[in-house]
């Protein structure tokens, strides 16, 4: 399974999603950008996407909710260790109220992995952020430079809404 992402204007991306309505494509947006997320076992319909292999898949990427992308740049030599850690079971996450789906994404042409989570709402995600479960899940990804050099740079988070037809 692969995930492909592409950015553009909301109206342009909406037309692409409508054109390929049989594909599993999410249209997401925040106050800075709009993006399409295409999950497939086949070739993508996008011309020049950012491409990822799915290392772990839990739940269903539904066309509603609040999507969070944790971008984590990892040094080449430490990719196997990172993949092992984030491909193992995370039962505590799956039992979290409001949680819908998880995808751990290995980049095909870069060093920045993405941990994608889908939530019922921003509130359910924010509630989880303040728990020990959240701290445990992302332990080490925000480590200071004096610690392990597994990370190439600072991780960062992108948050998106999946607009409804009324939006």
Would you say residue 57 lies in a domain? yes
Quote the CA–CA distance of 127 and 129 in Å, as a whole number: 5
Would you say residue 115 lies in a domain? yes
Q: What is the CATH number of the domain that holds 43?
A: 3.30.70.100
Closest of 79, 66, 85, 83 to residue 28, by C-alpha = 66
Would you say residue 167 lies in a domain? no
**Phi, psi of 13, rounded to the nearest 5 degrees:** -65, -35
Would you say residue 121 lies in a domain? yes
Would you say residue 64 lies in a domain? yes
Q: Name residues whose C-beta falls within 8 Å of residue 5's C-beta, 6 or more positions apart in sequence.
A: 35, 36, 37, 38, 49, 50, 52
- Is there a contact between 12 and 46 (Cβ–Cβ < 8 Å)? no
Q: Name residues whose C-beta falls within 8 Å of residue 117's C-beta, 6 or more positions apart in sequence.
A: 67, 68, 70, 93, 99, 101, 102, 125
Per-residue pLDDT in tens (0 to 9) along the chain, 167 residues: 999 999 999 999 999 999 999 999 999 999 999 999 999 999 999 999 999 999 999 999 999 999 999 999 998 888 998 898 888 766 667 788 999 999 999 999 999 999 999 999 999 999 998 888 887 777 655 443 444 555 556 788 999 999 986 55
**Phi, psi of 2, rounded to the nearest 5 degrees:** -130, 160
Whose structure tokens read 């409508």? Answer: 18
Domain range for 13 is 2-162
Would you say residue 99 lies in a domain? yes
Domain count, the chain: 1
Per-residue pLDDT, 133 = 80
Would you say residue 13 lies in a domain? yes
Quote the CA–CA distance of 116 and 45 in Å, as a whole number: 21
Per-residue pLDDT, 147 = 43
Per-residue pLDDT, 145 = 43
């Amino acid at each position: 399974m692969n995930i492909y992402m592409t950015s553009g204007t909301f109206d342009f991306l909406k037309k692409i999603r409508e054109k390929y309505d049989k594909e599993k494509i999410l249209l997401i947006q925040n106050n800075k950008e709009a993006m399409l997320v295409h999950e497939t076992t086949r070739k993508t319909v996008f011309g020049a996407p950012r491409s990822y292999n799915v290392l772990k898949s839990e739940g269903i990427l539904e066309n509603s909710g609040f999507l969070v992308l944790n971008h984590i740049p990892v040094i080449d030599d430490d990719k196997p260790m990172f993949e092992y850690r984030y491909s193992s079971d995370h039962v505590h996450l799956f039992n979290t109220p409001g949680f819908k789906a998880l995808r751990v994404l290995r980049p095909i042409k870069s060093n920045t992995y993405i941990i994608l989570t889908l939530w019922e709402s921003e509130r359910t995600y924010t509630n989880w952020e303040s728990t020990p479960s959240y701290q445990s899940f992302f332990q080490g990804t925000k480590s200071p430079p004096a610690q392990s050099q597994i990370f190439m740079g600072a991780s960062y988070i992108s948050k998106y809404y999946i607009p409804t037809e009324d939006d």
